[in-house]
Structure 1
Amino acid sequence: MSESNQTPSKADETELLQLRQEIDQLDQEILNLISRRAQCALRVAEVKMKADPGQAVFYRPEREAQVLSRVMERNPGPLGNEDMARLFREIMSACLALERPLEVAYLGPEGTFTQQAAKKHFGQWVKTKPMPAIDEVFREVDAGAVQYGVVPIENSTEGVVNHTLDTFITSNIKIVGEVELRIHHHLMAGPNTNRDKITRVYSHQQSLAQCRKWLDAHMPQAERIAVNSNAEAARRVQGEWNSAAIAGEMASELYDLEIIETKIEDSPDNSTRFLIIGAQEVDTSGADKTSLVVSMRNEPGALYHLLKPFNDFGVDMTRLESRPSPSGNWTYVFFIDFVGHTRDANVQEALSAIRKTAVEVKVLGSYPKGVL
């Protein structure tokens, strides 16, 4: 008889009973501690409202980043650091909802990866509001209709999202955080769809590009139709018998579709970075990034003069993108990400040097590096 079919001995049964009793006791302790934390969050809200009823800020990106980083540093195991941090993220999300529920705009419709990124960053207790376009997300935040917004900025396979970059040029909204999402694309269809009869595949243009090799190999005969979002693709195939959609798991659940092939993206490391945007500036967290846009004169050595201060003052630049200037005349603006906060001394020196040769320097925000 195999070991798995053996009946537990009396000693084993006694040990299991003791372990279950210990788990029950630990569960009660965890429940009590979470309740105490929630009560503390309510008192924090009372103190903030008493001090400044009209301008009280309940969500502090730098504070949350510090807490999650500390959880990962002090985690004794056996749960992994990210798993433990995600548990704490949800506890913090629930407690924050007691203080004041956050409403966050995102590039919709429901079921997009941008909504998934919003949930990952703010937790499941956040209220998400879909918007039809990236500039609408900016306007919603600027108008004060929501506290924050989430917009895509770059994909590891397809590069930057130019619409987001261009919107920053004319907007006064600040970057207050970032979140990276591992992107898994799934092929899905309605329950009555026969895979052999699929003649068209809907998805966002970038998703179709990210799954090009798989589609070439497995569905070369199917027409590829680009739509505004993966969620829109999932919605379309609900009532069609000869079509499929490429989208994420959230879309399949939302639109009641069957996933017929999982993880069909060509790159195993496919991920997208999203920015959290808001109206306020963010204090230092100890592990920060800064984004800015710089307009340079169209003259020899302009790029050299832009990059030299980063080297001179020891500022680690992590991204450089150029876009045509809205003013035209064959001039360009540069989008730059670097490590550090505008309150750091070396960053201030570098920015001061850049301003001496630049037409304009606009700081888009200093914010905590993505923890999860």
Structure 2
Amino acid sequence: MSDGMSKATLPGLAQIRDEIDRLDADIQALISARARCAQQVALVKQAEDPEATVFYRPEREAQVLQKVMARNEGPLHPEEMARLFREIMSACLALEHPLRIAFLGPNGTFTQTAALKHFGHSVQTVPLNTIDEVFREVEAGAVNYGVVPVENTTEGIVTHTADSFLTSSARIIGEVELRIHHHLLVAEGTRVESISRIYSHQQSLAQCRKWLDAHFPKAERVAVSSNAEAARRIKGEWHSAAIAGETAADMYGLVKRHECIEDNPSNTTRFLIIGTESVSPSGEDKTSIVVTMKRNQAGALHDILAPFAARGINLTRIESRPSKNDIWTYVFFIDFEGHQDDPRVREVMSELDPVVSDVKVLGSYPRAVL
């Protein structure tokens, strides 16, 4: 055997179960002790600043999860161990201050799944109809944070999210990456050969285009506001199907007729966590900025990128969008490694000021851990 023990020296089943029971009691006692510490943290924070207490610290949670993964010795995978701690941290934070998290709804969307992956299941998720509404509720203080999709590895940038940042005061405080698996869902009793209409969000239809061409070339493809809405619609339609994820299938009691039908098996969506406060450095951070170009300036993009290259700062994303203020002018959304308080980043920002019309820092935040 791999651990050097012979079959004869293995403990009996009853003995192993007794050991599990003992370990469970120890784990439970330690979780309770951690929860009491969380309550003490809340009291200290409130005593220091009763009017502006911030209970959720993204950089602190990222550091805890990074340490969990670094010291993991198996047999559980490091990410699985981090997910367990994510839920413990979520429950403990709820003792300090229950969080309300807005997301692009309705219930059952991938954005809700991303919110729960990032914050854990001890938060209250609030579904909203549009990305604009998520931004407005965060700015108004009606919710603590919001979760919005920003880019997909297959379909690229989510333009509604990018454009919202141009006029919003909300800041990016975190990110989460979610592997997207699409399933063909049907209601009980629906026969595959009778399917003449397939509902889904337009991006999901695009992400499954080749599979649909091969398996349902004659079916009408109907774009709706979300995958969850697609799942809701087919409950009463015997000739329809929906493309959606696991959460929507469970929520609406649908049958997965075909699983993982996305054309790209590595299909991943990146979501941003938005709030109103700044985030301190975690040690592994990213910064997002919006740069407005000067009109008709030759070599402007080179002038923007050169300071990053000179200091060895890695760009992780660059996207252009039309400016909302002037025709034929453009803004660039740039993500790069590092925190805005880092000396190298400060040097880059000071060099950008003279060569661009405007630079808006959307936020510095911990890189996605899970």
Q: Report what 2:129 is aligned to.
A: 132
Listed one character per residue, the Cα deviations across residues 267-324 of structure 1 (whole Å, up to 9, x for unaligned) are 0000100000000000000000000000111211111111111112221111111111
Partner in structure 1 of residue 207 of structure 2: 210
Matched, 1:322 2:320: yes
Alignment of 1:135-150 (within 5 A): 135-150=132-147
Q: Distance in 2 between matches of 1:29 and 1:68?
A: 21
Q: Residue type of the partner of 1:306?
A: I
1-structure distance, mates of 2:313, 2:265: 31
Residue pairs, 1:90-129, within 5 angstroms: 90-129=87-126
Report percent identity of matched pairs.
63
| Residues in 1 aligned to 2:204 and 2:41: alpha-carbon distance in whole angstroms | 43
Measure, in 1, the Cα distance between the counterparts of 2:240 and 2:328: 44
Alignment match, 2:299: 301
1: CA distance, partners of 2:301 / 2:210: 37
Q: Deviations over 1:55-76 (max 9, x none)?
A: 1111000000000000000001
Distance in 2 between residues matched to 1:121 and 1:368, nearest whole Å: 12
> What are the ranges of 5 or more consecutive residues in structure 2 without an aligned counterpart?
1-6
Amino acid at match of 1:158: E
TM-score of the pair, normalised by structure 1: 0.96
- Work out the CA distance in 1 between the residues paired with 2:85 and 2:151: 27
Is residue 162 of structure 2 the alignment partner of residue 176 of structure 1?
Answer: no
Aligned residues: 363
Superposition deviation, residue 13 in structure 1: 9.2
The 5 Å alignment of 1:183-222 reads: 183-222=180-219
| Alpha-carbon contact 1:314-1:346 (below 8 Å) kept | no
What's the CA shift for 1:342? 0.6
Match in the other structure for 1:371: 369
Partner of 2:3: none
The structural deviation recorded for 1:328 is 2.2
1:187-336 equivalences in 2 (<5 Å)? 187-298=184-295, 299-336=297-334
Q: Secondary structure at the match of 1:78?
A: coil
Please show how residues 20-99 of structure 1 align to structure 2 within 5 Å. 20-99=17-96
1:16 corresponds to 2:16: no
SS in 2 for 1:253: helix
1:291–1:366 contact (8 Å) kept in structure 2:
yes
Q: Which amino acid aligns with 2:117?
A: K
One-letter amino acid of the counterpart of residue 299, structure 2: G
How far apart are 1:11 and its partner, in Å?
A: 6.6
Rounded to whole Å, the distance in 1 between the matches of 2:281 and 2:160 is 28
Distance 2:350 2:312 in 1: 14
1:14 Cα deviation from its structure 2 partner: 5.8
Cα distance change, pair 154–14 in 1 and its aligned pair in 2 (3 A)? closer
Deviations 1:166-194 (A, max 9, x none): 11011111000000000000001110211
What CA RMSD, in Å, does the superposition of the two structures yield over aligned residues?
Answer: 1.2
- 1:356 aligned onto 2:354: yes
- Residues 288 and 340 of structure 1 are in contact (CA less than 8 Å); yes or no, is this contact kept in structure 2? yes
User: CA shift at 1:20, angstroms?
Assistant: 1.2
Q: TM-score, normalised by structure 2?
A: 0.96
* Aligned residue number for residue 4 of structure 2: none
Structure 1, 218-227 or 362-371: larger mean CA deviation: 218-227
Is residue 346 from structure 1 mapped to residue 344 from structure 2 by the alignment? yes
In the alignment, structure 1 segments of 5+ residues that lack a partner are 1-9
Q: Which runs of 4+ in 1 moved over 4 A?
A: 10-14
Cα deviation code 1:217-254 (max 9, x no counterpart):
11112111000100010010011111000000100111
1:5-43 deviations in Å (ceiling 9; x for gaps): xxxxx9789622211111111111000000100111111
